[in-house]
Structure 1
Amino acid sequence: MKQMIKSEPMRDRKKKKAHTSLKTIYMLTMCLCSLVHGVYLAIFCLMGIWTLVAANAVSVIIYLLLAAAMQNEHFALALSVTHLEIMAQAMLTIIFVGWGVGFEYVVLSLLAMEPHFIYRHRRTPYLLCVAGLLLIMTLKVHSLMIQPIVHTADRGVLIYILFFINMVIFFFGVIFSAVLLDRRNRISRHVLEENNRYLQKLAETDPLTGLLNRRSMTKRLEGAIKHQHETGEEFCLVMCDIDDFKLINDSYGHACGDYVLKMLCATICEYLDEQDVVCRWGGEEILLLLSDTRLETALQITEGLRRAIETTPFIYDGAIVSITVTMGVSACGNEQNVLDLVDAADRSMYNGKRRGKNCVTVS
């Protein structure tokens, strides 16, 4: 694992896709509501209840307008208007044809779905639920005390059709509520997992370079030593330090120093194999773990890397900044722990500094 890890999660594409999906769902819902009210309109037309015919005609127009409004993503407005329209239709229909036609169940299915909808204010869905519950209770008391405006005894078949339609709506409303709950739980779980992964990256990586930090590298080294003891597979450590890094900061500024450090890390990551691990050990020191690598091979790799860095110019703000590095190599022995191994590589690197820098030395 040598790739530089991003310090910030990039989810723009997924968010855009989810937003488009939500818009499509709302548009289809508005169109479906318009269709249902078209059926209501036809039934009430056959029953000769012209007030309800006019009310459902208005509802059809409202939902078609809301479907068009989805293009501008007025989600909260559409949900609020839908809730108020359903309650108004239920109230008007129960007053005209009486209790037991099934519109009370339509309101109940709406109340079951309400907490899962997204409004601008968190209290809105709960206030709407309370309003819906009070409406149902009021309409029940009204139906017990006052006879409906229209007598439906001679319209039994149409009343049964209306009841069955409302039962189907109630059934699918409950199912849809369960689907919304499941989707909400899955989204919450996904967000939690993404946040945990992001926090884990923050805990394991260096914010400037995106490389592993010292804590994470220490764990990798402990695992590598354990693996070496079990299998005999050799590995090497390389401590890499930028020569005269303070001079770069003094000459070009600390922003340039940060840029050079990041570009150096990118160059190292591109040069090494996928199995190798790169870490910012501290300051301008970069620690490399060369997995399954003998000392002779490690020296060849680090010398090639040193030359690649020496011949790679870094351009910052129009200025060409050339750097060199000194690298110290140590090989894992059966008796060594993490600190011993890192200290050996560190001593080798400082020996190279004393020898004139821009070189590879071995302990």
Structure 2
Amino acid sequence: MAYLIMFYILGVRELFLFNIFSVAFYVTLQIIIALGKSGPKFLYLALIEIIIHAAVATHFLGWQPDFAMFFILIIPATFLTYTQRIYIPFIISGVSMGLFLYYKITMDYNAEVKYIFDDNSIIKAIQIMNAVIGVFVMLTGGVSNIFIREYKEFQIVEQRETFRDLASKDPLTHLFNRRAMNEHIRAIRRDCPPRSQYVIGIGDIDNFKRINDTYGHDVGDKVLVYVSNQFINFIPEGGYAARWGGEEFLFVIPNASIEKGVAFTDKIHKMLRSHVFEIDDVEFGVTMTFGVSKGIPVDKIDNVITTADKRLYKGKNNGKNHTEFTD
């Protein structure tokens, strides 16, 4: 806008018209950015506009007003702008340097140009304005680069977290999947103090096949989600819960006695016994059976899980809807 006013006052018609375009261009750019669309391509468009502006101004006003300095200032700004296409800064910098050399070779300091200002104060004013705007361009390029890089890094971290969740979480219940749970169990076993113990429990929804056959798999999924939420709500701090397979769930609690594991399953039992599922005009309840075992760092994980699994099936054979924690 400053250039638009200045060239209007000085009567430089071509640059006045060009700056009308420039103002419209930057206003449009601001609107696009305000709408949430951003990226290095918009910064590169702005840099290209500056190069063209410098070329047109040098052509009509010559070297004295120092518009040619923008050809040099643009070069570091192009490399400060974040882009995955590394060749773009080289192309823009090459064009800018080429124009600088072209005008340097073909136009001397006192070359005849269309607009010549005899008043030295006008030249000085233009030079000062160009210096201020040049510094502003450099600062804007640097700050924009910082924000874009930070935003890109944030996107990468967020994407990495999303992929990690997809790889480690069951998509229906949002509990850990079997692979991720095995990693957590190994980590707990590895990090446990030598004389400590941990608790592993396996729970199975009673008569789940009948629920699916009677009410459909959509209802079965709702039951799985509700049960999973109870694990998420009640698992003690430091513990982990996973969908072990189908309607089977596994939990592990580090630095805990077997009584703490049983207390956790009792909370699940209590919530399930008090909850009624309503499907159309039909109401039904759900129960679970658990097998719980303890382990110490020297125990093989598979043996601890197998013990919990045997106790689970012992519970199934002994009437279901309770927790078995002894052989």
TM-score computed with the length of structure 2 as normaliser: 0.80
- Inter-partner Cα distance in structure 2 for 1:302 and 1:84: 66
Q: How far is 1:278 from its partner?
A: 1.0
CA contact (8 A) 1:237 1:288 kept: yes
CA spacing shift, 1:323–1:177, aligned 2, 3 Å? same
- Aligned-residue Cα RMSD (Å) equals 3.7
Aligned to 2:19: 59
CA contact (8 A) 1:236 1:331 kept: yes
CA contact (8 A) 1:104 1:136 kept: yes
More helix by share: 1
- Inter-partner Cα distance in structure 2 for 1:333 and 1:246: 35
CA contact (8 A) 1:263 1:314 kept: no
Aligned to 2:2: 35
Q: How far is 1:166 from its partner?
A: 1.3
- Inter-partner Cα distance in structure 2 for 1:282 and 1:51: 78
Aligned to 2:114: 149
1:50 equivalent in alignment to 2:11: yes
Paired AA for residue 348 in structure 1? R
- DSSP 3-state at the match of 2:107: helix
Q: How far is 1:122 from its partner?
A: 11
CA spacing shift, 1:312–1:156, aligned 2, 3 Å? same
- Inter-partner Cα distance in structure 2 for 1:297 and 1:223: 20
- DSSP 3-state at the match of 2:113: coil
- Alignment equivalent of 1:325, drawn from 285, 288, 295: 288
Give the 5 Å matches for 1:88-99.
89-99=53-63
Q: How far is 1:194 from its partner?
A: 2.3
Q: How far is 1:213 from its partner?
A: 1.8
- Alignment equivalent of 2:206, drawn from 235, 243, 248: 243
- Inter-partner Cα distance in structure 1 for 2:264 and 2:151: 46
Q: Deviations over 1:295-348 (max 9, x none)?
A: 234333323321321221234577544211111111224652211111111000
- Inter-partner Cα distance in structure 1 for 2:141 and 2:31: 24
Give the 5 Å matches for 1:239-278.
239-278=202-241
Q: How far is 1:251 from its partner?
A: 1.6
Paired AA for residue 7 in structure 2? L
CA contact (8 A) 1:97 1:149 kept: yes
Identity %: 22
CA spacing shift, 1:86–1:275, aligned 2, 3 Å? closer
- Alignment equivalent of 2:247, drawn from 280, 284, 288: 284
CA spacing shift, 1:123–1:253, aligned 2, 3 Å? farther
Q: How far is 1:86 from its partner?
A: 4.0
Q: Greater relative contact order (Cα 8 A, min sep 6): structure 1 or 2?
A: 1
Q: Deviations over 1:203-260 (max 9, x none)?
A: 2222221111222222322333344452x33332211001111111212222222221
- DSSP 3-state at the match of 1:103: coil
Give the 5 Å matches for 1:1-363.
34-38=1-5, 40-41=6-7, 45=9, 49-52=10-13, 55-56=15-16, 59=19, 63=23, 66-67=26-27, 70-71=30-31, 86-87=50-51, 89-110=53-74, 112-113=76-77, 132=96, 135-144=99-108, 147-152=112-117, 154-230=118-194, 232-315=195-278, 320-333=283-296, 335-363=298-326
When the two structures are aligned, how many residues end up with a matched partner? 320
Gaps of 5+ in 2: none
- Inter-partner Cα distance in structure 1 for 2:280 and 2:75: 61
CA contact (8 A) 2:70 2:134 kept: yes
- DSSP 3-state at the match of 2:214: helix
CA contact (8 A) 2:239 2:252 kept: yes
CA spacing shift, 1:296–1:123, aligned 2, 3 Å? closer
- DSSP 3-state at the match of 2:225: helix
Paired AA for residue 59 in structure 1? N
CA contact (8 A) 2:82 2:148 kept: no
Q: Deviations over 1:112-154 (max 9, x none)?
A: 54577799x99998876666555545544552596212334x3
Q: How far is 1:174 from its partner?
A: 2.7
CA spacing shift, 1:303–1:183, aligned 2, 3 Å? closer
CA spacing shift, 1:214–1:37, aligned 2, 3 Å? same
Greater mean alpha carbon deviation, residues 58-67 or residues 291-300: 58-67
- Inter-partner Cα distance in structure 1 for 2:30 and 2:16: 21
Paired AA for residue 164 in structure 1? I
CA spacing shift, 1:79–1:348, aligned 2, 3 Å? closer
